């Protein structure tokens, strides 16, 4: 371990040496911080995979998992090719102009690029979750290219690059309620609107047929992974750990995330059980509804978690659920089919989070009312709306082209068979009969009991158990 050469006859130079060592160590630790947080945010991709896979019918599971795995691959290529350049390559107020294909990227920006890629992966994967069970591969690939290469980077440039025009106006969005979630939600809305609902989902008289998730354990595993990743999503958005107040800020961020999620979950649960007609008559504790509430909490807190006092995150979580409910009811009314409820969560929760950051933030209306706090609210409302409208229009434009060539969804026959077999020729589950349930006793007839098992005179005697049939799938 090399330590700086302390020169007793020149104390100031020695102090400068120690100062330089400390500065370089701080840089290393900042990079370490971004790498660890980025890896945990990357694990969100697995969360999306399981949540969406559990939410669809079992004949589409391979397709869902395929799409999730692919969007990490394809999305990363396009983000690193032109996305990061458009997002953080300096440039003008609209977009960046340097570092295309990462040419010229300095070493000390690489960790930042990795971390921002994990956010881009999250934003991109949100959009496709509303389209499951009927979307074509062409639509999927083109929308991934558009979102991770152009739309999301431009939006993040506006809000997070120092020269972006929204940032210059004062738009405040710490971990991306608007930039990631509202953008993904409104893009998903455009895609779901243009793709059309699944066959048999809505009837002519306005009824909505429920389509049950095929595996609650997968849905719940996805939700837990979301929780795990959301903490790193918010904490990592601080981008540094070496400045003087950083530790306190990220600790507050983690606490606020937990409190907001707990509050939104509890609100959704109690509302659904005691305040809806179906909850009161059937008296059920609905798990999917509760999970949607908790996702809304995770999305809503992103914008202002570094500034909220803990009581504010409790309030924001509670109110955010009602923003979700509003968008959810609107989508049912307009017969827009969302396979995983991602549009209400992301768009409703994301936009409300942006508003909430302006209201409950440390220079917001509640905590320090003044003219400038009204301006902050105005900027956030405006900025969130612009982001949502921009991403909606960009995906709408893509889908107009796709619909012209009728490439936006699979044929009805393919949808009926299930995309697993139609598109991938690979069923997700194989339900074979299991003849042997449990072995109770084993007797070896000869000493060579490890001899090959022959079906005619098998060396083992087995007894069958009659217990409940179990399904191999999980």
Closer Cβ to another protein, 94 or 285, answer by number = 285
Out of 208, 254, 330, 377, the only residue in the binding site for another protein (CB under 8 A) is: 254
Closer Cβ to another protein, 35 or 330, answer by number = 35
Of 1-9, 163-171, 222-230, 351-359, which part binds another protein (CB under 8 A)?
Answer: 222-230
In the range 7-36, which residues lie near another protein by CB under 8 A? 11-12, 15, 18-19, 22, 25-26, 29, 33, 36
Of 87-95, 173-181, 182-190, 290-298, which part binds another protein (CB under 8 A)?
Answer: 290-298
Bridge partners (DSSP) of residue 149 are none
* Burial category of 277 from C-beta neighbours within 10 Å (exposed 0-12, middle 13-18, buried 19 and up): exposed
SS3 state at 409: strand
Contact 5/15 with Cβ under 8 angstroms? Answer: no
Out of 80, 111, 159, 225, the only residue in the binding site for another protein (CB under 8 A) is: 225
Cα separation, 359 vs 49, in Å, equals 34
Question: What are 100's two structure tokens?
Answer: 């295309």
Out of 101, 248, 326, 401, the only residue in the binding site for another protein (CB under 8 A) is: 248
Closest to 354 in 3D by CA, of 373, 376, 380, 375: 380
As measured in angstroms, the least distance from the Cβ of 377 to another protein is 26
Report if residue 202 touches another protein, rule: CB under 8 A. no
Report if residue 212 touches another protein, rule: CB under 8 A. yes
Of 121-129, 238-246, 341-349, 383-391, which part binds another protein (CB under 8 A)?
Answer: 238-246
Out of 124, 263, 380, 394, the only residue in the binding site for another protein (CB under 8 A) is: 263
SS3 state at 20: helix
Cα separation, 325 vs 293, in Å, equals 9
In the range 396-455, which residues lie near another protein by CB under 8 A? 416, 418, 429, 431, 437-439, 441-443
As measured in angstroms, the least distance from the Cβ of 250 to another protein is 6
Other residues' Cβ atoms within 10 Å of the Cβ of residue 205:
5
Report if residue 471 touches another protein, rule: CB under 8 A. yes
Out of 247, 451, 458, 464, the only residue in the binding site for another protein (CB under 8 A) is: 247
Cα separation, 80 vs 161, in Å, equals 17
Out of 31, 34, 38, 40, the only residue in the binding site for another protein (CB under 8 A) is: 40
CA 278 to the chain's CA centroid: 29
Out of 189, 290, 299, 300, the only residue in the binding site for another protein (CB under 8 A) is: 290
In the range 296-315, which residues lie near another protein by CB under 8 A? 310-311
Contact 149/82 with Cβ under 8 angstroms? Answer: yes
Tell me 135's DSSP state: B
- Sequence-distant (6+) residues with CB within 8 A of 93 are 158, 163, 164, 165, 168
Cα separation, 158 vs 432, in Å, equals 54
Closer Cβ to another protein, 82 or 241, answer by number = 241
Report if residue 59 touches another protein, rule: CB under 8 A. yes
Out of 81, 110, 150, 220, the only residue in the binding site for another protein (CB under 8 A) is: 220
Question: What are 112's two structure tokens?
Answer: 């930042």
Report if residue 224 touches another protein, rule: CB under 8 A. yes
Closer Cβ to another protein, 401 or 442, answer by number = 442
Cα separation, 65 vs 183, in Å, equals 23
Closer Cβ to another protein, 243 or 333, answer by number = 243
* Token pair 């330089």: residue: 20
As measured in angstroms, the least distance from the Cβ of 42 to another protein is 14
Question: What are 307's two structure tokens?
Answer: 């500034």
Cα separation, 33 vs 212, in Å, equals 40
In the range 153-192, which residues lie near another protein by CB under 8 A? none
Cα separation, 213 vs 339, in Å, equals 10
Closer Cβ to another protein, 374 or 440, answer by number = 440
Closer Cβ to another protein, 29 or 401, answer by number = 29
Out of 187, 241, 387, 419, the only residue in the binding site for another protein (CB under 8 A) is: 241
Phi, psi of 202 (to 5 degrees): -115, 145
């Amino acid at each position: 371990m090399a330590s700086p050469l302390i020169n007793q006859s020149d104390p100031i130079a020695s102090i400068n040496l120690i100062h330089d060592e400390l500065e370089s160590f701080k840089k290393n630790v900042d990079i370490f911080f971004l790498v660890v947080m980025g890896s945990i945010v990357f694990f969100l991709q697995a969360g999306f995979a399981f949540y969406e896979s559990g939410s669809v019918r079992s004949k589409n599971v391979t397709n869902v998992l395929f799409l999730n795995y692919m969007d990490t691959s394809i999305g990363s290529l396009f983000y690193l090719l032109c996305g990061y350049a458009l997002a953080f390559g300096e440039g003008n107020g609209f977009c960046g102009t340097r570092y295309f294909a990462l040419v010229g990227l300095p070493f000390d920006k690489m960790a930042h690029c990795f971390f921002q890629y994990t956010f881009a992966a999250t934003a991109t994967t949100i959009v496709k979750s509303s389209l499951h069970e009927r979307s074509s591969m062409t639509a999927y690939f083109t929308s991934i290219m558009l979102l991770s290469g152009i739309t999301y980077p431009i939006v993040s440039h506006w809000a997070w690059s120092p020269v972006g025009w929204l940032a210059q106006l004062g738009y405040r969005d710490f971990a991306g309620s608007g930039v990631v979630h509202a953008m993904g939600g409104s893009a998903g809305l455009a895609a779901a609107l243009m793709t059309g609902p699944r066959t048999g989902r809505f009837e002519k008289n306005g009824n909505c047929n429920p389509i049950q998730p095929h595996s609650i354990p997968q849905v719940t595993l996805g939700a837990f992974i979301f929780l795990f990743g959301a903490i790193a999503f918010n904490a990592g958005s601080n981008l540094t750990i070496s400045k003087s107040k950083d530790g306190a800020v990220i600790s507050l961020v983690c606490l606020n995330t937990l409190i907001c999620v707990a509050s939104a979950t509890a609100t959704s649960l109690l509302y659904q059980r005691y305040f809806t007609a179906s909850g009161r008559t059937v008296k059920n504790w609905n798990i999917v509804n509760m999970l949607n509430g908790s996702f809304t909490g995770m999305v809503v807190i992103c914008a202002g978690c570094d500034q909220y006092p803990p009581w504010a995150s409790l309030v924001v979580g509670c109110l955010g659920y009602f923003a979700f409910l509003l968008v959810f009811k609107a989508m049912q009314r307009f017969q827009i089919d969302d396979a995983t409820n991602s549009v209400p969560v992301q768009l409703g929760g994301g936009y409300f989070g942006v508003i909430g950051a302006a209201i409950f933030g440390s220079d917001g209306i509640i905590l320090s009312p003044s003219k400038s706090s009204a301006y902050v609210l105005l900027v956030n409302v405006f900025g969130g709306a612009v982001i949502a409208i921009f991403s909606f229009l960009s995906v709408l434009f893509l889908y107009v082209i796709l619909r012209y060539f009728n490439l936006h969804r699979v044929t009805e026959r393919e949808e009926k068979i299930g995309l697993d077999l139609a598109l991938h020729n690979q069923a997700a589950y194989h339900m074979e009969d299991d003849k042997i349930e449990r072995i109770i006793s084993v007797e070896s007839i000869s000493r060579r009991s490890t001899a090959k098992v022959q079906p005619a005179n098998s060396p083992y005697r087995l007894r069958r158990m009659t217990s409940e049939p179990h399904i191999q799938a999980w």
